[in-house]
Chains A and B, each alone.
Chain A
Amino acid sequence: MGFSLTGVGLTRANGFRALRGIDLRAAPGERVALIGASGAGKTTLLRLLAAALRPTEGRLQLLDSEPWAVRPAALRRLRARIGLVHQSAPIPPRQRVVTAVLAGRLGQWPLWRSLASLILPVDAEGACRELARLDLAARLYERCDRLSGGQLQRVALARVLYQQPELLLADEPVSAMDPTLSELTVALLNEEARRRGVTLVASLHAVELALRHFPRIVGVKAGSILFDLPAGEVSDALLRELYASDGEVPDREEIPLAGLPPLRCA
């Protein structure tokens, strides 16, 4: 259970090395926060853990199976056991909230049940229960384009909660929420993982939020892991190193203008 990555790397088709030499292991019930600058590879790492991307090197094991060695049907079943909360909610604007949440179990339902649910929601109660935890139960039958960005993000979260995955992944799950709501939502994710004993990996921009709620912090920088420490041992110096760009942060005056003279309109 949990997952294990050994020497995992990913090189994009254009030759860009998005990730290299990643060694990461998590036991069931562990809660890990990924932090790091934009473009460091947090989203790519999460997509690898969701079996949505295939690593170009190394060994990847998710929930005790190797996603890229098994048959397509087995990969589908494995994917149904992994839930990823996307950075921008992948929900069609014209869909109703109830349908968007119930879509979490499409991987578990037979096709006839999925289609029947489009005509009459088969488990409105279940959807309502998850929405209630996020304080959105009143919007059950509303259309998603009537919601604010933060509400939509919570609907996407409710979908993954409804999926009841054994590996819970979240990519910037609170990027569109205010500080109070972010706090509550991150706490909810942690409580869910604790209660069901599942592994949780979440990437977060707000470092204090990560340090407060997650026992284990993984810092990602330029496609590899800079540190993997208990929250208590993450020092300010480490954080500065994590977020500094390569070398010194150049001052405004020092940015070379590639020899171009300043432009002025006559």
Chain B
Amino acid sequence: MSPELAVADGTRRVLRDPAALPRLGWTLVAVLLLWPLLQLARFRPAELFDPANLAAMGQFLSGFLPPETSPDFLTLLGRATVETLAMATAGVALAVLLAVPLGLLLTRSLSVASLGPGRGGCFGAGLRILARGLLAVLRGVPELVWALLFVRVFGLGAAAGVLALGITYGGMLGKVYGEILESADALPARSLLEAGSGRLAALCYGLLPNAARELVSYTVYRWECALRASVVMGFVGAGGLGQLMDQSMKMLNGGEAASILVTFLVLVLAADGLSEKLRRRMA
């Protein structure tokens, strides 16, 4: 029974949540939109459990066992792992160098112009649009395409991967840095700007103490993504574990592929642990 209200003029009205109907409506709209999209993507989960398909998958997966553990291969694997780590780390470092200035440009809470008079808000607004556009271009082109481009310049190897990662991830980091800084409490930085401080000093004293944890954990997460992305780029010859994986797959050597996958798992777990440790350290 819905709660009812006794109103003095004698009529009884149902005490209804005015937000309920719109919520129901939007849920229906979402479902109606999602359904044709699923159809378009030919998403039919039942096929996963078709006995013939299950057998085919089982055969494919059984080729992965047991993982390859010969000393020769492990040496190769070790070298490729170090190369992948180097590629991801150098790529993310490059990305941070790109992202920091662009992200700062995006941050409205550091705008001296909003406190007046500056060179007029138009100049800053134009610069922000420009930076936003540049970041979109950087991350809009997938790293794989950048890698294909740079392999033609640097030849096969990690250098192309580093540059491709740096550019795409620079675009992602810049956008998210800007947004993290903007969602942090703006009051401390603003009060410093009002006391005559410069923008960079206001950033370091007013915004970073609140935002540093988010910035660090997002950067570490992107590093973890870069480790995984380096596999895909390895397939186009950008070096590291990916290239090794490509070779193993081409030679239908499932055992080697399994060892490489295990290595990946360990790397991702390590990145996760590192992020957790850093976050706790900065709490």
Instruction: Identify the A interface with B (CB < 8 A).
Output: 50-52, 54, 68, 72, 75-84, 86, 88, 90-95, 99, 103-104, 106-109, 111, 114-115, 118, 163, 261-266
Q: What are 25 A-B pairs at a CB distance below 8 A? A: A50-B194, A51-B194, A68-B116, A68-B117, A72-B119, A75-B116, A76-B196, A77-B196, A78-B196, A80-B197, A82-B196, A90-B192, A92-B210, A93-B209, A94-B210, A103-B192, A106-B192, A106-B197, A106-B198, A107-B197, A114-B200, A114-B205, A118-B205, A262-B8, A264-B5
Known contacts being A265-B3, A266-B6, is A81 close to B209, with CB within 8 Å? no
Closest A residue, CB atoms, query B282 = A94
**Chain B proximity of A188: nearest CB distance (Å):** 20
Contacts of A83 in B (CB 8 A): 195
The 3 closest A-B pairs by CB, nearest first: A107-B196, A80-B196, A106-B197
Category for how many chain B residues contact A = 35 or more
Closest B residue, CB atoms, query A91 = B188
Contacts of A111 in B (CB 8 A): 198, 200-201
Contacts of A92 in B (CB 8 A): 185, 188, 206-207, 209-210
Among B182-235, those with CB < 8 Å from A are: 185, 187-188, 190-192, 194-198, 200-202, 204-207, 209-210, 212
Interface centre among B112, B116, B210, B212, by most chain A C-beta atoms within 10 angstroms, is: B116
B5 with A104: CB separation less than 8 A? no
Contacts of B209 in A (CB 8 A): 92-95
B195 with A106: CB separation less than 8 A? yes
Known contacts being A52-B115, A78-B196, A79-B196, is A106 close to B202, with CB within 8 Å? yes
**Chain A proximity of B127: nearest CB distance (Å):** 15
**Chain B proximity of A21: nearest CB distance (Å):** 22
Please tell me if B20 contacts chain A, counting CB pairs below 8 Å. Answer: no
Known: A80-B197, A265-B15. 17 other contacts (CB 8 A): A50-B194, A72-B118, A77-B196, A78-B196, A82-B195, A84-B191, A86-B191, A90-B190, A95-B205, A103-B192, A103-B197, A106-B192, A108-B196, A114-B200, A163-B195, A266-B3, A266-B12
Closest A residue, CB atoms, query B15 = A265
> How many angstroms between the C-alpha atoms of A106 and B190 in the bound complex?
13
Contacts of A91 in B (CB 8 A): 188
Closest A residue, CB atoms, query B195 = A107
B205 with A99: CB separation less than 8 A? yes
B206 with A118: CB separation less than 8 A? no
Known contacts being A54-B116, A95-B209, A106-B195, is A115 close to B5, with CB within 8 Å? no
Contacts of A72 in B (CB 8 A): 112, 117-119
B194 with A84: CB separation less than 8 A? yes
Known contacts being A93-B210, A111-B200, A261-B8, is A75 close to B195, with CB within 8 Å? no
A266 with B188: CB separation less than 8 A? no
> How many angstroms between the C-alpha atoms of A80 and B12 in the bound complex?
64
A90 with B204: CB separation less than 8 A? no
B194 with A114: CB separation less than 8 A? no
B198 with A75: CB separation less than 8 A? no
Please tell me if B72 contacts chain A, counting CB pairs below 8 Å. Answer: no
Contacts of A107 in B (CB 8 A): 195-197
A106 with B210: CB separation less than 8 A? no
Interface centre among A78, A106, A108, A265, by most chain B C-beta atoms within 10 angstroms, is: A106
Closest A residue, CB atoms, query B7 = A261
Contacts of B191 in A (CB 8 A): 84, 86, 90
> How many angstroms between the C-alpha atoms of A114 and B8 in the bound complex?
68
Contacts of B212 in A (CB 8 A): 94
Please tell me if B17 contacts chain A, counting CB pairs below 8 Å. Answer: no
Among B112-128, those with CB < 8 Å from A are: 112, 115-119
